[in-house]
Amino acid sequence: MIAQKQNLSNEINCPLAEKIIAEEFLSDELKNLLLEWLNELRVQRRYSVHTLVAYESDIKNFLQFLNVHFGEKILLQTLQQLKISDFRAWLSARISDGMSPRSNVRSLSSARSFFNFLAKKNLLNLKVIHAVKRPKLPDLLPKPLEENVIRKFINLDTFFADDPAWVTDRDRALFTLLYCTGMRINEALSLKTSDVAREIKITGKGKKDRVIILLPLALERLEKYIFSCPHDIANGHLFVGVMGKKLHASYVDNRLQKLRMMYNLPDHASAHAFRHSFATHLLQRGADLRSVQELLGHESLSSTQIYTDVDDYNILKIYQKSHPLEIK
């Protein structure tokens, strides 16, 4: 048995192999197929480890549910004989466990990905899973910050009074960079000091490359921070903490949470809100949708179109506030 598990682990080069092989409620055949699927996502589709972990977690949750649902070890034949009612029971159980509709959408997408993989190998058909309706999601529009709020915030003389001057320079440079470029927080924190230039090539979600052009203000503030930083960051990550280690997104959002209370910022003020604000403000000032799509690194134009809905919503609010019949 030990030798058999080692063979499974060695056959498929997947960082999650040991976790999957340890699951006793799955047949060895199904374990092997899971490993092949995850490895295909990693190698051919170039998914990040973070995405792979999410997919693995979703499919494991699904298979664990089936194990309890049927009261037996899960085989490939189990998946071949599933009915729509089995998928509905799984999604209902997740809701009962407190999972959100958005989480259910992602988990169903993960299950469909695995089933598509099995279908390509002619191991099952997709009729049943494709008949499962996608859970409805509430319309959640991005919440940008107002222009004057951002301007005032990124131009503060200091954020935390006890911070060394170089930390203030760092935070100001980071917040300015996020708003000036629309970068995702993890993209910004992955930058190396050697990347800083008028134009920066970055790799975003789905390994999609795009070129970011730094406005003079952003470049000036980055250079000021680099000059004032007491740590040797010339050959390492650009944004570092007081110990000289790379900053993480959770640290930035934690600081922003405290700053919200200190400066009475909106509740939705977060690192990602700078990206929303970047896109919304560009469109409000006449930028075309395709250009904003490229700047954000969106694969699909539909992902960028949500910001036109935000703009329409803002126009509606102005109309309601300004029309004579609405003025009390």
**Is 69 a residue of the active site?**
no
The active-site residue out of 55, 179, 225, 307 is 307
**Is 205 a residue of the active site?**
yes
The active-site residue out of 94, 172, 275, 276 is 275
The active-site residue out of 31, 60, 94, 184 is 184
**How would you class 129 by CB atoms within 10 Å of its CB: exposed for 0-12, middle for 13-18, buried for 19 or more?**
buried
Quick one: tokens of 286?
Answer: 């006449």
- Secondary structure (3-state) at 203: strand
**Is 272 a residue of the active site?**
yes
- Rounded Cα distance between 107 and 74, Å, is 18
Residues 6+ apart with CB under 8 A from 101: 95, 135, 136, 137, 138
- Secondary structure (3-state) at 237: strand
Length of the chain: 328
The active-site residue out of 205, 210, 231, 248 is 205
CA-derived radius of gyration, the chain:
24
**Is 31 a residue of the active site?**
no
- Rounded Cα distance between 39 and 9, Å, is 12
**Is 298 a residue of the active site?**
yes
The active-site residue out of 224, 231, 260, 272 is 272
Given a contact cutoff of 8 angstroms between Cβ atoms, the answer to whether 189 and 247 are in contact is: yes
**Is 307 a residue of the active site?**
yes
Alpha-helical segments (H) within 184-248: 185-189, 216-228
Please list the active-site residues.
Answer: 184, 205, 272, 275, 298, 307
